[in-house]
Each structure stands twice: as C-alpha cells, then as structure tokens.
A and B are shown apart, each in its own frame.
Chain A
C-alpha cells in the first residue's frame, strides 16, 4: 500500500535540472560576469541534484495515509508538516488521475473532494490496481450507498 514517490522523484529531478539550466541561461546574460559562467550552473546542479536525491526520499518517508473508523487521515510534508482528517461521509467524490509519468510507472493519484473547496486531499503514488480498491473502500464508508 505504501508504494509512493518514484513519479514524484523523477518529477523533482526534471524540474531541478530545468531550473539549473534556466539559472545558467539567465546568469550568462550578465555582460561582465565576476566568475566563469559555468560556476553557477554547477552550483545549482549540485544543490538541485542533492535535493532531488534527498527530497523524494524524505517526502516519501513523511507520507502516510490511514483509514480510521470514521475518517481518512493524511500525513505529509517535509518542510511544512500537515495532518489532514476527512470524515468519510463528507466525501463528495473521488477522482483518480494518472499523468503520463505515473502511467509509465504504473501509479495513480487519488484526489478526494468534499463540499469545501479548500479541502486538500491528494494521495499520490498509489499502485494503479490499488487505487480503485482504495476508492471503492472509501466510497463504501461514505454511507451514500444505503442512504437513498
């Protein structure tokens, strides 16, 4: 159930490399650089690389979700820790999204929605097969099935 984060990891790496390249491009615009143009790129690449290596692991370790008796609980965050609780019967609907990267890795993302627009409940990196089971599990607990 805890397969998470490789999609996220790849994403962070891509973004970081892109950021490094962009930083290099902007820095090289400076007419009279005090140090060789390459320095900034190297620094950025090293920092980004380190972050890209470390962050996904941390994010993955920080990510937990739990189905309790009455609520769906999510814990996540490396810099900002966050613990969200959503009562099942407040769940309005659940989306399953799959980005190309996630598809390549056989993962899905579950997005749980309530009547509040501010509810932020995403469960990334769920194995595709598990995602539908999990969705049905949550929906079964919303009590909608036998309500009407």
Chain B
C-alpha cells in the first residue's frame, strides 16, 4: 500500500498526528517548507535578483509567493513510511523520486536540532548508510521532535529485528545486551518507551571539563585564527578608545600597560576557546543504549547521534603535549557511516582522563581493554626519524644562512631541536596486536593511538620506500570501511610488518563473522 505516491489520508491535521499505524505514509512537519534556510535562500536569490534589477517590489513579492507555493506543494508530495524493515522516502513535483533504505543497512541515525528547530520543537532526522558519497543516506527535514524520536527508535528496533531474523548468532557483540525488549514486539509501531533499554552512561562532561577541553585543544588555534578578523572589525569601529590614551605618563606606564594588555589578550583567548568548546559540547552525554552508542550534545544547536557498536571501525586516541602533561586524552570514533556533514555528527569525546581510557575503550569496542604495552620499532627507525626531521631542517637552514649571510646563520640553531623532534617521533612509535585489536601509536608532540578491531578491516598492505628498505623497515597500512585516515604502523622491521599483515589477515576471519557494513550486496 505504500507504493501509491499520493497519500490522501495524510492530509488530515499533519500537526502532531496521534500515532496512526506506522505503515501509512506521513508528511514532514508543516514548517518544513520554510525551515531549511539555505535552500530557501538559494531559491529566493533568483527572484530577488530580478526584482532588484527591475526595481519592482511587487515582482519580488510575486517571486516569493511562487517559491513558497512550489515549496508547499513539494512538501505535500513528500512522504515517508517505515514499512516493515524498509524506510521509504517519496516525493518530487516534476520528477518523482523514491529513496529506500533497508533498515539493516543503517549505519548511523542522527537527530539534529539547530536553534531554530529547538524553538519550534522540531528536529532533522538523518539516516546514514555505508555507501560513500552524497545520497548515501536520507534526511528527513523536519519532523516534530516526538515523531523524530519515535521514528529513530522504530528504525533501530526494526534493524535489530531484521538482524535477529537473519540470526547470525556468531556475531555476538551485536546482540549481547538490551535488545530483549525489541524482539517480541509486533512488526509495527514499536513505541520508544518500550523499546529503548536502559542507557549506560559512558562519558558525561561538565562545564568545567569542557572548559579544560577548550583551553587545551584545537579550539585555541581556531580562536587564534579568528583573531585577525576580530582585530580588523575593532579597527573599523568609529569609537577608538586607544586614540585617547596619549597620556604623558605613558612612557612610564608603557611596559605595565603592555603586560596588562598581554594578560588581557591571553584571558580573552582562553575564555573564547572555552566558550567554543562549551557551545559545541554543552550537556555532553555519551551513553550505551542496548548495542548502540548515543551521543547528545550542543548548547544552542542540539545534536543527537546514534551509532551501532557493530559499525565502529576504529577508535583514535589523541593527546597533545599539554594534554599529556595533564593526563588527558581525546577520542574519536571512526565509523563506516558517511554523512554529508560528518563534522557535525561525528562521534568524539573531546576530553577524557587518561586513567579512564580503558573503561571507555572496553565499552566502545567490546573485548578491548586498556591500552597494552606497546612494542617499539627497531633502532633503525630512530635513524630514519632523525634523518627525516634533521635533513629538511638542515637544508632550509643552510639556504637561509647562504641567502641572508651573517644573521641567517641563526637558522642553524633550529637544527638541534629538529633532531629532538626526531627522537620524540621515534619514542612515539609503537604497536601491539592483542585479543584481535591492533593498537598503533605515532606522533612526536601530538601522540595518536589508534585501536582497530582487526576483524573489521577490509584489506591491508605493507609498503617500503627505497629509504625504508635500506634500513630494513616497512609500514603497515590497514584499510577500513568508511571515511577517515587509515591506521598505520610506521617503520617496523620488514619481517615484523609482514608478520603483522599475516596476523591481521588471519584475524579478519571468514564470512561467518561478517558483522559490519556490506554496502552494495543488496542495495543496487
């Protein structure tokens, strides 16, 4: 029945439909036509430009009316339905289109509430599948918040049911908790309250922790990058307090004033970095609901992201130098789901005590424990790290010295620190393969440790450049589904790297353990 494009029964009171059977097509929330402002802006651009050049206000009004009418008509056509195990989105005024997502292909479900959505009590529901590129998922923009939450729960419940039906019993990690409530449900309209099992908190962050995250993280650089623009704006202001500060005592007070200014600047800098962090992550809560990770965060724009544990491809732990001193790390979860706006919906833990890492890793990657003792690459890797850091720096310094003779020689002072960086880079290297997890660490100042469940890897390769071969070294790279950098084990002895490759391949297992994304096998 849902194959009919017209949905006459959906015309009655689209606002807050009182839970009709789930299999009837529904429309998006009536505010949808005007709420996706970017598309609206684009469409209003043409009539706006025409009206501006022709100088007719009436023309502009006409254009706006036409655009709005078209959008409302498009909204009336656009329906979605969750039918058994398939989410179907239909619509289109001239060209009819139908998007279908089988529930078992769902990688990630996001609930995004920008400020304007929160004021109206609506949300965008994004459903992501594994296939890369745009159009790999679908976005329901916008739904009433209740409906969005109901649909999300229904989608996830349907996914679990399909997986239960196919009964791949050996994929134990997918079914080990919390799905008991969803199994006995009738095939239609599972209610969110019934299905959602207890949520285990994984990480919750207070304002104090977010402040710490902001003042030790990339936010510092972001704010610094924005500083020139701010300064320019300040310069353009008609009121210039500093023009009046031409006091005779300035000579005396000069250094003091300068110091005060510097302190003030640093204070503002840190405060803005903290504010950036708080805006993005206020109310940060990462929890484990059944076999899904749920992340909710955001001060003004509220985002909720749901990621099935089985879709986690790798966890990347990074610690910058200041954070290492403070015993802090941040986490990024790499998944096979691809979103158009991955920045907004990616799963990350902005800050975490290093001592807490083992617990969080064990929850996010069932079976993984705290980071194991890492195996150091051979001393030849130290030579390579030194050469890689010292040689380029020496060349640059030599050129500067020759070009700007006497003073340019100061550049040579930068060579020893480069050597130090090389040593640090070597010390940062390490790897381990335990209990089916490949752990690899790299980085001189900013240390990155990536934990990969070997069973989820797609392929792997060992590469050795001319320079590496002269030192008997090679680098192992593991290919994972989905976007993100590929995990590397740098500069290990060739034999060890080859051995690792073999063990990774052995750990991939067979078709029986094929528990993650398989785009393209059924979806044409």
Contacts and interface: CB of A to CB of B under 8 A. Distances in A.
A143 interface: yes
A19 interface: no
B488 to A, nearest CB: 11
Interface in B234-264: none
Contact of A92 (B482, B510, B519): B519
B406 interface: no
Contacts of B511: 89, 143, 147
A133 interface: no
A115 interface: yes
A83 B479 contact: no
A117 B435 CA distance: 26
Contacts of B130: 115
Interface stretch (A22-30, A31-39, A45-53, A118-126): A118-126
A115 B461 contact: no
Interface residues on B, range: 35 or more
B508 interface: yes
B356 interface: no
A82 B468 CA distance: 12
A114 B520 CA distance: 10
Contacts of B502: 85
B517 A143 contact: no
Given A83-B462, A92-B520, A116 B510 contact: no
Given A70-B505, A81-B469, A116 B479 contact: yes
A25 B501 CA distance: 47
Nearest to A90: B458
Contacts of A129: none
Contacts of B464: 80-82
A67 interface: no
Interface in A5-28: none
Contacts of B510: 70, 89, 143
A82 B483 CA distance: 22
Interface string A127-148: 0000000000000000110010
Contacts of A86: 458-459
Interface in B128-180: 130, 132
Nearest to B514: A89
A119 B465 contact: no
Given A80-B465, A83-B462, A116-B459, A90 B519 contact: no
B463 interface: yes
B498 interface: yes
Contacts of B477: 118
Contacts of B463: 77, 80-83
B521 A144 contact: yes
B481 interface: yes
A10 to B, nearest CB: 25
A93 B459 contact: no
A85 B469 CA distance: 20
Contact of A82 (B457, B458, B462): B462
B480 interface: yes
A147 B166 CA distance: 11
27 contacts: A79-B466, A80-B465, A81-B474, A83-B461, A83-B462, A83-B463, A84-B462, A85-B460, A85-B501, A85-B504, A87-B505, A87-B508, A92-B520, A92-B521, A114-B458, A114-B459, A115-B336, A115-B481, A115-B519, A115-B520, A116-B457, A116-B459, A116-B479, A116-B480, A119-B479, A121-B459, A147-B511
Interface of B: 130, 132, 336, 457-466, 469, 474, 477, 479-483, 486, 498, 501-502, 504-505, 508, 510-511, 514, 517-521
Given A71-B505, A81-B469, A85-B502, 7 more contacts: A82-B461, A84-B462, A85-B501, A86-B458, A115-B519, A116-B486, A147-B511
When A and B form their complex, which 6 residue pairs have the shortest distance between CB atoms, in order from nearest? A84-B461, A116-B458, A116-B479, A115-B481, A86-B459, A114-B458
